[in-house]
Amino acid sequence: MRFFTVFLIAVLIAASSFGQWDSALDHDSSGVIDLADLSYFANRWLETSDVEVPSVWGLSKAEAEASIISAGLSVGSLTQQHSLSFPEDTVISQYPAAGDSVPAGSRVNIMVSFSGEDGFNGMSWVYIDEPEFTGYVSKYEITNAQYCKFLTDALACEDIDVRTDGIYGVRGAYNGQLYYDIDDPHAQISYSDGSFYSESRSGNDMTSHPVVEVSWFGAKAFCDYYGYILPSEQQWQAGADYHGAFDYGCGTSIDSSKANYALNNPAGLSSFPHTSSAGEFGEYGYGLCDMAGNVWEWTDTIWGEGYRVLKGGSWCDSAENCKVESRLSGSPLAGHFNYGFRVFMRE
């Protein structure tokens, strides 16, 4: 910008010296093209015209896009969120907010509703369209109830072996790999007479809490079984940082009203792990829940010699560890009392 202004000054001074210049540039009709004329045209060139962002909430996707364009703005990213409260393809959120003043041509990002559930324990999805990933992200971390369902299905197909020290895969690349450390005192899932179930703790129904003590192999096997994918670190981050605007998966800041972290123990549990029910702290960004805190989430990204990256922080981590950019390495062979996961699904 400074280079352009200096260049323009030099051109105008040179032109006025030689007296050969279009009279239209003599704005003040002084007979000389001088710095006053330069100032006028430079200000006009630098001038930015702001427009007001229209309200598109409740409109159909097509109506919203037309309204945004007619206001002199452009349509930004489109995300979808499962909702039973709105008709299909209805705008349920926008950014920037209606009434904000922004430069002409700015992008307005919209979120529209969709009614898609895949029939597996009411799995809810959020659609994102980012360079790193385009497709669906599970709105919540995988819960104890959902993992119990997987173990039941896998047992019926003889894909797992239930031993006293854990649950192991028995086929292909998963043969002999620990899926779930059912023998650990922090495990939330039990097994009896051919059935998997999640017991209550301190008066809390744990079925809707995120599964813990699941290994990377256990998360990966879950994805393969139902046709999902375990995200890479970059894909996970694309879902968490909301166009790069978020420092945490819950926004630009974090506190005990936004996430379960720093041993807050919102459920009042008498022993570890101090998890909270999936979605208890609300949704952020694209409409995802618990992208900061609750449990670390396995990714498919390798770290060093055989380790895997986990993201998001957990119920016992500091605010710093819950940042979108923070990462943890974990052995894929074992679970932990604050390791869980969520799944992605391509279009």
Is residue 298 a contact partner of residue 341, using CB atoms and an 8 Å limit? yes
Per-residue pLDDT of the chain (347 residues; tens, 9 = 90+): 444 444 444 454 454 444 455 566 666 677 777 667 666 655 554 555 799 999 998 999 999 999 999 999 998 877 766 565 677 788 988 889 999 999 998 989 888 876 555 544 568 889 898 999 999 999 999 999 999 999 999 999 999 999 999 999 998 889 999 999 999 999 999 999 889 999 889 889 999 999 999 999 999 999 999 999 999 999 999 999 999 999 999 999 999 999 999 999 999 999 999 999 999 999 999 999 999 999 999 999 999 989 999 999 999 999 999 999 999 999 999 999 999 999 999 87
Which burial class, exposed, middle or buried, applies to 51 when counting CB atoms under 10 A from its CB (0-12, 13-18, 19+)?
middle
Q: Are residues 158 and 262 in the same domain?
A: yes
The encoded tokens of residue 118 equal 């895949």
Of 201, 210, 211, the residue nearest 167 (C-alpha): 211
Report which residue type is found at 295: V
Q: Are residues 167 and 55 in the same domain?
A: no
In a domain, 130, yes or no: no
For 67, the domain range is 50-115
pLDDT of residue 32: 72
DSSP E strand stretches across 87-139 = 91-95, 101-103, 107-114, 125-129, 134-138
Which residues have CB under 8 Å from 208's CB, separation 6+? 143, 144, 145, 277, 278
Q: Are residues 35 and 61 in the same domain?
A: no
pLDDT of residue 76: 81
What gap in Å lies between CA 129 and CA 136, rounded to an integer? 9
Crossing angle of helices 2-18/35-46, nearest 10°? 140
Q: Are residues 65 and 154 in the same domain?
A: no
How many domains is the chain built from?
3
pLDDT of residue 88: 77
